[in-house]
């Protein structure tokens, strides 16, 4: 018995000794790459077990492991996880986690509606720009400038504040779908985007995702070039905010403040942002100013419901830059603005006292509001709904002198009331099968007229119309965007030139079925829609005081998309997508002319036909990854609007029907991290974009009256202009010291062509490249280093490259070399890009 007792005691001691000897202590500190900010709450788990811990407020952790050697997995939401080996007691020291390409750290309301590519397992050609990069590089630029370092994107600044444009795979921004938290924001009439109306969006953006080509849309939209998703802050998990002051070239200044309460114990959260900007503009006489505001109220009564109300707007005015001949810019410099009305002065002019009135001035206020509701029905299904609306009020004011010698500012007003609903239902039918269905309804009322914005040194302007007879214009609409919004001109007797309204109603349904297992994923989606158009004329009518309404035209449309992806091996995936769209034409191309007629064009404009194919290869990896895409898009039966680039009596507008374009190309993106402190990425896009076949063209004068009859135009083989068909770029970010980094970007543009009337081949333009650079430093402040003070310097076009940014015209090179600029006839209308620009900002995060 005694020996047995001794044996049992010995066995117990041996067992405990073995267990104790098998345990190890692993410790370390987890930081964010690039900022060296501690990551509190990061997970540290012994691989193959449920044994784990989390980092403290300073990013430190200590884990008692169950084995003497093995691996620990360190992870944090929104960052790439890291697996580290240990052998016995191990101090890992500093562990750096880098932000990955996912959007998981963002609290997204209406998550079922926002069509981010990560929601689909079958990939598409996509680039995602995260909050930190937006915060540093957006500065005082519009969204297209931020996207120029992604494949097949080109940004055209176009002169004045917010007047820029973006091209995606050679398609202009009217044919790229832009979504704000799942809400369509392209103009309903013509698809246009006016970036001056969205100047505050990037201040509260969490991410911007560019889906090239077919995209991953959960709406019944048929974008040709791609889809750009802007995801803003809505509900913040934690209390905090920022104060930022930015200054830049040409007396630019911008002040912004943001604060969020975080989510309280009762599920409520509040966020608000307010900003003001002003500046003289890079181009002469293009000064402007505006405000930005954002308010978000969230409520989560329980785990199954999240509601959020958001309103944002950017009231502003800015003077525009007119187009001129290339020769006039060479003579006067690239800051030259030919579009000014000299010899007048008014207390209300932007350049009061200098005897110059802006030739064109944009005044607009477009508040946007939406209410979102995310409902988790059960473990398998959910419903997201967005109810939205916007009221746009504004004008484009131009100084004019009529036949009586009366000088005034004429306003071309483009007001609207827009309401819509987007809903999406998602159901996991099985572990591998997912079903998605949605609806999209939009109701749009456009209000267009001319009036007097300012009476310059006169008391009235004479006018005449069929609706109001002979009358005097005595009302001044003003140039203050707040006044324009709250006190719009609703009196038809104080309008002239043109006065009409349009009602556009749109309804569509969408469905998607996706299958996915460990190696294979495939999806099929389809959408059907209908769009109706009615136009009401008030000015050019037969009976005084009686408006005339057009017949209603209804256009059905549909789209079909399918795709699959296959994982060849770890970190190697291939995919292919295909789609066909029957897209309704824009409202602006349906009528005989845009001003003064309710007659539809004969023959009627039919739906556009778009066929797209895309394939890609994705290589994953921590230090090196790459995306290779090929695409082919055929855009048939298009109606194209352009002009001869002239003003007033010399203006001729062209409407070309039956246009066919074929865009094909290859895109390569490479992401590398040679060392922990260096991120080095690059891209190359090679495109071949040409017109095919013949088309039919009509011509119109400045009043919208048709000139002559339709003529056939031969466009086969003409290059598609507006954007470079070859783009390439390299961007790098290097951490010099903890929280001190420098970055740079080089972009090149070649195989670049003009836009024109299509009666003659487009012109090849000279290639160019630009270099941008930036410097960031973040200082940790506060008792626990929980706040930060961030300094940022951006210099764009650092080498002051002189380049033609865009040309409108088909005039071939002259035999006289003095009449050419780098092979382009200087009598064509064009615009040079900006020279060296800069901005400096200081941001306090709390």
Written as one string, the DSSP assignment of 581-620 is EEEPPPGGGTBS-SSS--PBPSSPPPPEEEEEEEEEEEE-
Residue 443 has pLDDT above 70, yes or no: yes
pLDDT band at 705 (very low <50, low <70, confident <90, very high): confident
Residue 256 has pLDDT above 60, yes or no: yes
Report residue 312 as tokens: 């944002």
* Cα dihedral: 191, 195, 198, 201 (round 10): 110
What pLDDT does residue 10 have? 44
Domains of the chain, by residue range, sit at 21-97, 117-232, 240-845
Pick the CATH number of 240-845 from 3.30.499.10, 1.10.1200.120, 2.40.170.20, 1.10.10.10: 2.40.170.20
Report residue 757 as tokens: 């009337």
Residue 511 vs residue 99, higher pLDDT: 511
What pLDDT does residue 416 have? 96
Residue 401 has pLDDT above 70, yes or no: yes
Distance (Å, whole) CA 780 – CA 844: 10
Average pLDDT over residues 216-227: 72
pLDDT, one tens digit per residue, over 732-751 is 999 898 889 999 999 999 99
What pLDDT does residue 818 have? 93
pTM: 0.84
Report residue 99 as tokens: 């932000």
pLDDT band at 171 (very low <50, low <70, confident <90, very high): very high
Burial 641-662 (b: 16+ CB within 10 A, else e): ebbbbebeeeeebbbbbbbbbb
Residue 457 vs residue 777, higher pLDDT: 777
Residue 358 vs residue 390, higher pLDDT: 390
Average pLDDT over residues 109-120: 60
What pLDDT does residue 114 have? 66
What pLDDT does residue 660 have? 95
Classify domain 117-232 by CATH number: 2.170.130.10
Residue 161 has pLDDT above 60, yes or no: yes
What pLDDT does residue 206 have? 82
Residue 129 vs residue 747, higher pLDDT: 747
**Three-class SS of residue 635?**
strand
What pLDDT does residue 216 have? 62
Residue 349 has pLDDT above 60, yes or no: no
pLDDT band at 17 (very low <50, low <70, confident <90, very high): very low
What pLDDT does residue 346 have? 46
Burial 516-542 (b: 16+ CB within 10 A, else e): beeeebbbebbbbbebebbbbbbbbbe
Residue 324 vs residue 236, higher pLDDT: 324
Residue 116 vs residue 410, higher pLDDT: 410
What pLDDT does residue 598 have? 72
Residue 81 has pLDDT above 90, yes or no: no
User: Would residue 650 be called left, alpha or beta, if left means φ above 0 and alpha means ψ between -120 and 50 degrees?
Assistant: alpha
Calculate what percentage of the chain has a pLDDT beyond 90.
49
Average pLDDT over residues 687-711: 84
What pLDDT does residue 15 have? 41
38-52, 85-99, 393-407, 656-670, range with greatest mean pLDDT: 656-670
Residue 66 vs residue 131, higher pLDDT: 66
Q: Does 117-232 match 240-845 in CATH topology? A: no
What are residue 167's phi and psi, to 5 degrees?
-115, 140
What pLDDT does residue 37 have? 62
pLDDT, one tens digit per residue, over 541-560 is 888 888 889 889 899 999 99
pLDDT, one tens digit per residue, over 493-509 is 899 988 999 999 999 99
Residue 38 has pLDDT above 60, yes or no: yes
Average pLDDT, the chain: 85
What pLDDT does residue 261 have? 92
Residue 4 has pLDDT above 80, yes or no: no
What pLDDT does residue 786 have? 75
Residue 466: closest CA among 502, 492, 501, 503: 492
Lowest mean pLDDT among 437-446, 470-479, 670-679, 697-706: 697-706
pLDDT band at 116 (very low <50, low <70, confident <90, very high): low
Asked if residues 397 and 361 have their Cβ atoms less than 8 Å apart, the reply is yes
What pLDDT does residue 403 have? 65
142-146, 601-605, 823-827, range with greatest mean pLDDT: 823-827
pLDDT, one tens digit per residue, over 280-293 is 999 998 999 999 99
Asked if residues 72 and 87 have their Cβ atoms less than 8 Å apart, the reply is no
Report residue 542 as tokens: 């037969």
pLDDT band at 45 (very low <50, low <70, confident <90, very high): confident
Report residue 136 as tokens: 């540093």
Query: Distances from the Cα of 385 to the Cαs of 271, 439, 510, 541, 558, in angstroms?
Result: 21, 9, 14, 42, 22
What pLDDT does residue 263 have? 86
pLDDT band at 115 (very low <50, low <70, confident <90, very high): low
What pLDDT does residue 101 have? 42
Average pLDDT over residues 407-423: 92
Query: Distances from the Cα of 766 to the Cαs of 36, 335, 796, 825, in angstroms?
Result: 44, 20, 20, 12
Residue 654: closest CA among 696, 685, 608, 699: 699
Tell me which CATH homologous superfamily contains domain 21-97: Immunoglobulins (2.60.40.10)
CA 753 to chain CA centroid, Å, is 24
What pLDDT does residue 381 have? 93
Average pLDDT over residues 704-708: 76
């Amino acid at each position: 018995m005694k020996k047995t007792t001794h044996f049992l005691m010995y066995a117990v001691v041996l067992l405990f000794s073995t267990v104790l000897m098998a345990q190890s202590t692993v410790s370390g500190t987890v930081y964010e790459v690039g900022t060296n900010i501690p990551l509190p709450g990061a997970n540290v788990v012994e691989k193959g077990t449920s044994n784990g811990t989390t980092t403290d407020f300073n990013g430190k952790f200590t884990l008692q492991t169950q084995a003497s050697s093995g691996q620990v997995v360190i992870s944090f939401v929104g960052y790439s996880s890291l697996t580290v080996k240990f052998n016995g007691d191990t101090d890992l020291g500093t562990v750096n986690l880098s932000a990955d390409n996912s959007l998981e750290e963002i609290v997204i309301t209406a998550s079922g509606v926002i069509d981010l590519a990560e929601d689909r397992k079958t990939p598409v050609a996509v680039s995602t720009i995260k909050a930190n990069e937006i915060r540093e590089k957006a500065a005082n630029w519009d969204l297209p400038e931020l996207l120029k370092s992604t494949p097949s994107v080109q940004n055209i600044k176009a002169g004045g504040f917010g007047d820029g444009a973006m091209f995606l795979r050679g398609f202009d921004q009217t044919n790229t779908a832009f979504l704000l938290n799942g809400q369509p924001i392209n103009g309903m009439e013509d698809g246009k985007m006016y970036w001056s109306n969205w100047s505050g969006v990037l201040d509260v953006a969490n991410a911007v995702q560019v889906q090239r080509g077919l995209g991953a849309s959960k709406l019944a939209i048929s974008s040709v070039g791609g889809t750009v998703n802007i995801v803003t802050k809505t509900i913040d998990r934690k209390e905090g905010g920022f104060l930022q002051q930015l200054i830049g070239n040409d007396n630019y200044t911008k002040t912004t403040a943001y604060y969020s309460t975080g989510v309280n114990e009762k599920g409520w959260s509040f966020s608000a942002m307010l900003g003001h900007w002003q500046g003289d503009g890079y181009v002469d006489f293009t000064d402007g100013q505006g405000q930005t505001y954002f308010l978000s109220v969230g409520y989560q009564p329980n785990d199954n419901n999240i509601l959020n109300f958001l309103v944002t707007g950017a009231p502003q005015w800015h003077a525009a830059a007119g187009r001129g001949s290339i020769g006039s810019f060479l003579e006067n410099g690239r800051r030259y603005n030919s579009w000014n009305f000299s010899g007048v002065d008014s207390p209300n002019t932007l350049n009061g006292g200098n005897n110059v009135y802006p030739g064109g001035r944009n005044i607009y206020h477009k508040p946007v509001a939406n209410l979102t509701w995310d409902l988790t029905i059960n473990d398998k299904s959910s419903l997201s709904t967005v109810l939205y609306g916007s009221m746009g009020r504004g004008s484009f004011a131009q100084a004019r002198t009529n036949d009586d010698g009366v000088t005034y500012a004429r306003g071309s007003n483009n007001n609207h009331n827009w309401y819509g609903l987007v809903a999406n239902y998602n159901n996991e039918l099985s572990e591998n099968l997912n079903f998605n269905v949605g609806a999209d309804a939009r109701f749009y009322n456009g209000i267009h007229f001319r009036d007097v914005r300012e009476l310059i040194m006169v008391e009235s302007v004479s006018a005449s119309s069929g609706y109001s007879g002979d009358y005097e214009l005595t009302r001044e609409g003003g140039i203050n965007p707040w006044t324009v919004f709250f006190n719009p001109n609703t009196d038809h007797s104080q309008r002239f030139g043109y006065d009409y309204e349009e009602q556009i109603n749109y309804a569509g349904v969408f469905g998607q079925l996706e299958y996915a297992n460990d190696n294979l994923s495939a999806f099929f989606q389809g959408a059907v829609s209908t769009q109706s158009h009615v136009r009401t004329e008030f000015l050019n009518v037969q009976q005084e005081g009686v408006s005339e309404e057009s017949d209603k035209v209804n256009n059905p449309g549909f789209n079909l998309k399918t795709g699959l992806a296959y994982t060849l091996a770890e970190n190697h995936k291939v995919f292919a997508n295909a789609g066909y769209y029957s897209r309704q034409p824009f409202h602006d191309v349906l009528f005989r002319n845009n001003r003064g007629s309710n007659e539809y064009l004969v023959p009627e404009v039919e739906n556009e036909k778009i066929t797209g194919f895309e394939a890609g290869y994705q290589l994953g990896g921590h230090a090196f990854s790459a995306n290779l895409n090929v695409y082919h898009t055929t855009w048939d039966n298009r109606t194209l609007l352009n002009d001869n680039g002239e003003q007033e009596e010399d203006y001729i507008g062209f409407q070309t029907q039956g246009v066919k374009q074929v865009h094909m190309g290859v895109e390569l993106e490479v992401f590398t991290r040679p060392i922990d402190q260096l991120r080095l990425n690059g891209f190359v896009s090679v495109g071949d974009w040409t017109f095919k076949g013949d088309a039919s063209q009509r011509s119109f004068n400045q009043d919208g009256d048709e000139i002559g009859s339709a003529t056939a135009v031969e466009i086969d083989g003409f290059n598609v202009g507006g954007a470079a068909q070859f783009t390439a770029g390299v961007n790098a970010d290097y951490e010099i010291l903890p929280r001190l980094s420098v970055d740079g970007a080089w972009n090149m543009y070649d195989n670049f062509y003009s836009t024109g009337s299509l009666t003659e081949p487009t012109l090849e333009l000279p290639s160019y490249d630009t270099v941008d650079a930036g410097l960031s430093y973040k200082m940790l402040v506060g008792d626990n280093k929980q706040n930060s003070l961030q300094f940022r310097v951006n210099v764009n076009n650092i080498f002051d490259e002189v380049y033609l940014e865009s040309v409108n015209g088909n005039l071939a090179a002259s035999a006289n070399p003095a009449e050419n600029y780098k092979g382009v006839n200087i009598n064509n209308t064009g615009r040079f890009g900006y020279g060296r620009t800069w901005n400096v900002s200081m941001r306090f995060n709390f």
